[in-house]
């Protein structure tokens, strides 16, 4: 399956953002259970973070991102890219 990356930057205050982090984590855990090999995290040196996951198509990747609680609750702006891995 292709690999996709959602690179995000927070657009709300920390209190608002933190309200949706548990839901985001649970969402990612469910992606893992469904076989999407998802991983999520944040940048240590500045605001923002990344979600990396597998999806069968760009359309499915867009749907996965659209259902992320951080997106549904307008906590981040993001870019979505298909990542072409050349060495594993």
CA-based R_g, the chain, Å: 13
Report the SS3 class of residue 48.
coil
Whether the model clears a pTM of 0.75, i.e. scores above it, the answer is yes
Tens of each residue's pLDDT in the chain, 88 residues = 999 999 999 999 989 999 999 999 999 999 999 999 999 999 887 778 999 999 999 999 999 999 999 999 999 999 999 999 999 8
**Alpha-carbon gap, residue 15 to 29, rounded angstroms:** 23
Residue 50 domain boundaries: 3-83
In eight-state DSSP terms, residue 35 is T
Q: How many domains are contained in the chain? A: 1
Q: Is residue 18 part of a domain?
A: yes
Report the SS3 class of residue 28.
helix
Q: Which helix (H) or strand (E) holds 6?
A: strand 3-10
Q: Is residue 88 part of a domain?
A: no
Which CATH number fits the domain that encloses residue 7?
3.30.70.1060
């Amino acid at each position: 399956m292709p690999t996709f990356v959602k690179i995000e930057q927070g657009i709300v205050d920390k209190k608002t953002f933190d309200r949706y982090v548990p839901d985001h984590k649970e969402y990612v855990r469910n992606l893992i259970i469904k076989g999407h090999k998802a991983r999520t995290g944040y940048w240590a040196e500045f605001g923002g973070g990344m979600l990396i996951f597998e999806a069968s198509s760009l359309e499915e990747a867009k749907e996965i991102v659209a259902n992320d609680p951080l997106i549904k609750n307008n906590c981040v702006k993001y870019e979505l890219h298909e990542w072409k891995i050349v060495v594993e």
